[in-house]
A and B are shown apart, each in its own frame.
Chain A
């Protein structure tokens, strides 16, 4: 019995569990297909980078995962649960485990930085006391190096600072899965590197599995455990960073020049 248990445990360790499983996903707007029969898996504890040109449907893909958009066909399973068959409460529960960093940051304009971070905390982690909330907010802002901005409004911060605050707001509720929508787009190279570093830190610190959507090769190089390239709504190539760097394919080369 013990031995069997031992084997079982071993198996769990050697075959990484998939946390997100997308099968044959298709979605389009006004007859125009954006994603066509797309399948991919995100495994526990990895950073998966999805590369693609702008307009290739990357944002649509991750919005489907949290059901901000509903696909025309295909299934999406997160922690084994089919996202599109969940009840309202089930969906709310599932969303609590997923952190979503929006392309535009999506900080609430009418709230201070502190209130921005408290907003999801108060709603997702209802069990926390006021003091614990305060501590968590301070800590999350400290982690992105912006502890002194907590009483400012989002409009008073630079683009890079807003992205960092947005990242803090996303991780402050301790999500298990992180979805990053173009975390480094529109930032200067130095700030981009900082954000990439923060993404790696989040993974180390919170043991999250992350899906990173980007067209920024430097960000992909810095963060990827595995890369998927999208083209025409389908998976064009999947592999490790080296596979992409060495690929003779012209399209891939044009990305990794």
Chain B
């Protein structure tokens, strides 16, 4: 009798255990899905927030009172912060590219193509991207930290109650300054890169300045320069928007200043690379 009972109950019990397991797993899965959904939700609302921020900034940029003084101050600061760094980097990149390329070209007996190739790679790619990344680090983090600390220490609130629109005074000026200054810095970096390349070419062999430059510039045409400059405007805007957004929306504690600066660098560097990718695809189609 009891054996029979066991024979019936046994499988049932085992099944119940299984069902419980399934339920546990399902619950876990549900929780995980919920967590994922929440992360996705935060992520998406972050993107929506960022778009709204860009839209508000653009709208404010077209209002009557433009803060010229603050705009020029920001232009100056962006240049002041990055010029030394960009000078050194530009020179070294040109120098290194030349030294690295020379043996490869020598194998083909094409050393005479050296100036043109280096100039092309600097103007199309190295100049814009490296300047963009340096500015993302220097300018983006600076804006994130500055606006973040202004937010935490109530300076933005103070502006607002003294009849100043902080979006207009702080954000519009910074975004426009970055959009204008970064292309200029890129051109500067390009020029120094080619100068560095000339120096590199002079380590082995002897090329006159004039010859080197006429060779370098004859290799560059409008379709090299134009898309490369256009994309740098987007680099500048991306760095300005991200830096300001991260600072402006910083939380309430002091630690959020560091977070704002940090995430401004990460996101704006990433955006520079992505914009570069998109720009390359578009120029390829032209």
A interface list, Cβ under 8 A from B: 63, 66, 68, 92, 95-96, 98, 100, 102-110, 119-120, 123-124, 173
A94 CB, min distance to chain B CBs, angstroms: 10
Residue of B nearest to A63 (CB): B157
Known A96-B163, A119-B162, A124-B163: A109·B149 in contact at CB below 8 Å: yes
> Shortest 5 CB-CB distances between A and B: which pairs?
A120-B162, A106-B158, A106-B154, A102-B154, A100-B161
Whether A100 and B158, one on each chain, are in contact in the complex, defined by CB atoms closer than 8 angstroms, is yes
CA distance A105 to B153 in the complex (A): 8
Chain A residues positioned under 8 Å from B164 (CB to CB): 119-120, 123
Residue of A nearest to B153 (CB): A104
Whether B153 and A123, one on each chain, are in contact in the complex, defined by CB atoms closer than 8 angstroms, is no
Contact with B161, one of A98, A104, A109, A110 (Cβ below 8 angstroms): A98
A159 CB, min distance to chain B CBs, angstroms: 13
Pick the most buried of A66, A96, A106, A124: most chain B CB atoms within 10 A of its CB: A106
A91 CB, min distance to chain B CBs, angstroms: 9
Contact with B163, one of A107, A108, A123 (Cβ below 8 angstroms): A123
CA distance A100 to B163 in the complex (A): 12
Chain B residues positioned under 8 Å from A123 (CB to CB): 162-164
Chain B residues positioned under 8 Å from A102 (CB to CB): 154, 157-158
Whether A106 and B157, one on each chain, are in contact in the complex, defined by CB atoms closer than 8 angstroms, is yes
B interface list, Cβ under 8 A from A: 146, 149-150, 153-155, 157-158, 160-164
CA distance A123 to B69 in the complex (A): 14
Pick the most buried of B149, B154, B161: most chain A CB atoms within 10 A of its CB: B161
CA distance A110 to B149 in the complex (A): 11
Whether B162 and A68, one on each chain, are in contact in the complex, defined by CB atoms closer than 8 angstroms, is no
Pick the most buried of B153, B154, B160, B164: most chain A CB atoms within 10 A of its CB: B154
Chain B residues positioned under 8 Å from A103 (CB to CB): 154
Whether B153 and A106, one on each chain, are in contact in the complex, defined by CB atoms closer than 8 angstroms, is yes
Chain A residues positioned under 8 Å from B157 (CB to CB): 63, 68, 100, 102, 106
Chain B residues positioned under 8 Å from A105 (CB to CB): 153
CA distance A100 to B158 in the complex (A): 8
Chain B residues positioned under 8 Å from A109 (CB to CB): 149-150, 153, 155
Chain B residues positioned under 8 Å from A108 (CB to CB): 150, 155, 158
Chain B residues positioned under 8 Å from A100 (CB to CB): 157-158, 161
CB<8 Å pairs between A and B, sample of 6? A108-B155, A108-B158, A110-B146, A120-B162, A124-B162, A124-B163
Chain B residues positioned under 8 Å from A106 (CB to CB): 153-155, 157-158
A70 CB, min distance to chain B CBs, angstroms: 13
A78 CB, min distance to chain B CBs, angstroms: 12
CA distance A107 to B157 in the complex (A): 11
Residue of A nearest to B162 (CB): A120
A173 CB, min distance to chain B CBs, angstroms: 7
Chain B residues positioned under 8 Å from A124 (CB to CB): 162-163
Chain A residues positioned under 8 Å from B153 (CB to CB): 104-106, 109
A151 CB, min distance to chain B CBs, angstroms: 18
Residue of B nearest to A93 (CB): B163
Q: A100-B158, A108-B155 are in contact. List 7 more A-B contacts (CB 8 A).
A: A68-B157, A68-B161, A103-B154, A104-B154, A109-B153, A123-B162, A124-B162
CA distance A238 to B67 in the complex (A): 46
CA distance A104 to B155 in the complex (A): 9
Residue of A nearest to B149 (CB): A109
B272 CB, min distance to chain A CBs, angstroms: 26
A133 CB, min distance to chain B CBs, angstroms: 14
CA distance A100 to B164 in the complex (A): 14
Chain B residues positioned under 8 Å from A66 (CB to CB): 161
B18 CB, min distance to chain A CBs, angstroms: 40
Chain A residues positioned under 8 Å from B163 (CB to CB): 92, 95-96, 120, 123-124
Pick the most buried of B153, B157, B163: most chain A CB atoms within 10 A of its CB: B163
Chain B residues positioned under 8 Å from A173 (CB to CB): 162
CA distance A21 to B77 in the complex (A): 45
